[in-house]
Structure 1
Amino acid sequence: TTAMPAAPRDLEGKLAVVTGATAGIGRACAEQLAARGARLALVARSAAKAQAARDEIARATGNDAIELVIADLASQADVRDAARALLASCERIDLLLNNAGVTNLARETTVDGIETTFAVNHLAYFLLTHELLPRLRATPGARIVSVASDAHRFGGAIDFDDLGLENGYGWTKAYGRSKGANILWTGELARRLEGTGVTANCLHPGFVRSSLGANNGGLGRVLVKVAGVFAMSADKAARYVLDVCTSPAWAGTSGAYFYKGRLHEPLAWARDPERAARLWAVSESMTGVAGSAA
């Protein structure tokens, strides 16, 4: 990697936690945050990929204040272990960027017996955020930003009677509903965080050339490659993501959904307060988090 052009070192002294930081948007966000002087804690499943990303980011930016936390976000035990490691090493958390995501052509379940797309794309966001909240609350101006998607427009509203999609699984439905869950949850999280100084927002990054769907075989991989022809670069998408994460313009904004750095309106079901409250309660139950205030 060649050295990046000089970025403003406006994030010196700040610490950002980024999930899914070894490829795609997460990797680009991590590199841009490092270039701006932030300390990083990268949560990744593969130790080898994480180490390679860390070395390349440090070389490109001259910033080697990068910690690695290895965790499979499909496992709730791993999520809890990751949170413990982060709390032990991070005396502050200015930004939690929930970015890791999966999509699976065929229905799969996790070690916890939960449909994998919902487990990684929503429950891991919910649980990791819950576990890190004490440190976020203690950090002035902390922001929680979650990568959702306009894919929530496909596949219909969340069906609480069949969250695991045992009756008619489809990968677009599974992915779309998990991303709708991000939007619903962000709204409820923001409501619960009112008055704490911590904000919670989510965004659609645009369609990005990334490794999402790379684990799908055959047709799924072909579709991802074809779609990639029309996609924006991860670096460009990362700039939009980091606008929500760092811009002073959004310092007081919470509970919002963004697209390309602008406020964006999700479908009605994804901003329904009753559905959001129900999703919160279900998420508590599925993760064993009892009566969380936020």
Structure 2
Amino acid sequence: MSVTSLIDTALDRTVVLGYGWPGLLVRRVLPDWPDGPERMDGKVVLVTGAGSGVGLAAAVGFARLGASVRVLGRDEKRADEAAALTREQAGGDVDVRPVVCDVSSRAALRDFTTRFLEQEHRLDVLVNNAGVMPDERQHSVDGVELTFATHVLAPYVLIEELTPLLARSAPSVVINVTSGGQYSQQLPAGDPESEETPYSPKKFYARTKRAQLVVTEQWAERLREQGVHVHAMHPGWADTAGVRRWMPVFRTVTWPIIRTPEQGADTIVWLGTAAEATDSDGLFWHDRRPRPTTYPIGADPDPEEVREELWEYVTSLAHGERSA
């Protein structure tokens, strides 16, 4: 292993420095820091959860590269605000358009994807970034546990429904924004929505992010032959509205090293144009490098039968074959 790789790995394993802004700054000066991102003129990008934080920063980054960006908000007001903020921060003559969908609703997702397929001629990058961390256990309008509906079911439906556009634009990239917190959780065998587990906001957030990562790997296997490359990434510790709202103590403790949303979004924007993203499939990225999906000090790898159980469960929910 080279000295550069040793430094990068040490930052990753220590977590504190690697997930904060010092890790990104050190990696940027290492000799093998990847080039890019490249210009994206003529390409279309869809970003969910684009109203603030990492999602907004990613949308701004893509717009600055010349992409035509669709920013998705839960309702018209939020979508319009997200588009206005993206245009303001990107500056210049940028093409940013609001689109509306409550991603926790299957019916809303189907209506949105139907409209999107009719209105758009291509989709080069799909960023699934929308996230929630409710204080109490909540369920979507479909009766699905809300973090599971938002982090697992919604990306599944968006990927499935928008595959025709993604395949038409191949090579295209799907980026699922997950969390380093997933290292602490295993998939719950026989209980995909964790209904048998006492509710904990942080635990459910991390557990559904683990599920999102597993579904990412499964989609990657199924779509690679169509030129659609599905990846996951985590932004490290970024100072977002969600962190300030749901994790104020964590933000207070980490404020000396917490990243800006732009630093957290760096790998998302880079993956949108990087050859590394279309030369591979199903990887878990942080700071422009693929990372292990489990570590010895975290949760054990998920058994294959539990991974398949999750896929079958999400598929049945997505197709309305199962009541939550």
CA 1:276–1:166: 2 relative to 1, 3 Å: closer
In structure 2, C-alpha distance between the alignment counterparts of 1:8 and 1:163, rounded to whole Å: 37
SS in 2 for 1:194: helix
Which residue number corresponds to residue 85 of structure 1?
Answer: 115
> Sequence identity of aligned pairs in percent?
28
In structure 2, C-alpha distance between the alignment counterparts of 1:264 and 1:43, rounded to whole Å: 28
CA 1:181–1:270: 2 relative to 1, 3 Å: farther
Say which of 124, 135, 146 aligns to 2:176: 146
1:107-146 alpha-carbon deviations (Å, 9 max, x no partner):
1111111111111011101111111111111112111110
TM-score by length of 2: 0.80
CA 1:8–1:102: 2 relative to 1, 3 Å: closer
Say which of 234, 241, 247 aligns to 2:274: 247
Consecutive unaligned residues of structure 2, counting only runs of 5 or more, are 1-35
Q: Is 1:264 equivalent to 2:264 in the alignment?
A: no
Are the aligned partners of 1:11 and 1:36 in contact in 2 as well (CA < 8 Å)? yes
Which residue number corresponds to residue 3 of structure 1?
Answer: none
Are the aligned partners of 1:148 and 1:202 in contact in 2 as well (CA < 8 Å)? yes
Which residue number corresponds to residue 143 of structure 2?
Answer: 113
- Pairing 1:20-39 to 2, within 5 Å after superposition: 20-39=49-68
**1:82, distance to aligned residue in structure 2 (A):** 1.6
Which residue number corresponds to residue 69 of structure 2?
Answer: 40
- Pairing 1:1-294 to 2, within 5 Å after superposition: 10-59=39-88, 60-161=90-191, 163-212=193-242, 216=246, 220-267=247-294, 273-288=304-319
In structure 2, C-alpha distance between the alignment counterparts of 1:17 and 1:31, rounded to whole Å: 12
Which residue number corresponds to residue 4 of structure 1?
Answer: none
CA 1:161–1:49: 2 relative to 1, 3 Å: closer
In structure 2, C-alpha distance between the alignment counterparts of 1:8 and 1:153, rounded to whole Å: 28
TM-score by length of 1: 0.87
Are the aligned partners of 1:44 and 1:72 in contact in 2 as well (CA < 8 Å)? yes
Consecutive unaligned residues of structure 1, counting only runs of 5 or more, are 1-6
In structure 2, C-alpha distance between the alignment counterparts of 1:204 and 1:160, rounded to whole Å: 27
In structure 1, C-alpha distance between the alignment counterparts of 2:155 and 2:114, rounded to whole Å: 15
> What is the aligned residue count?
281
1:9-36 alpha-carbon deviations (Å, 9 max, x no partner):
7100000011000100110000110011
1:214-272 alpha-carbon deviations (Å, 9 max, x no partner):
665xxx54444544554201111111221222212332110111111111001275565
